[in-house]
Amino acid sequence: MMKNAPSEKDAWWEGFQRLLDEQIDFPDEYLFKFIVPADGLPALKKIFGRHPVTVRASSKGRYLSVTAKMQMHSSDEIIALYQAAAKVDKVMML
């Protein structure tokens, strides 16, 4: 789980991208999972555009689990989406 995302220029992203390229034959469907405070849902959904997302509330409703499956064509697309999501306040990427 990635609670505090590395900065966009961090070497972590390079390593993550290498793993994606080694393990995924593009194009392929990729599963994104996030946890976000309820008030952060609109910003996170905006990143996915018209792609459907599944949202589940925590037991007290303060946090939401957000899942999306998207057809991705490269590791660059995946990284870009994660970096956009990292800008949403208090998002946790799983």
**Structural domain boundaries of the chain?**
11-93
Quick: pLDDT tens for 16-38. Answer: 999 999 999 999 999 999 999 99
11-93 CATH pick, 3.90.45.10, 3.30.70.260, 2.60.120.260, 1.10.150.120: 3.30.70.260
Predicted pLDDT of residue 10: 81
Confidence of residue 8 (pLDDT cuts 50, 70, 90): low
> Is residue 93 predicted with pLDDT exceeding 90?
yes
Which contacts qualify for 63-66: CB closer than 8 Å, 24 or more apart? 63/35, 63/36, 63/37, 63/38, 64/35, 64/36, 64/37, 64/38, 65/33, 65/34, 65/35, 66/32, 66/33, 66/34, 66/35, 66/36, 66/41
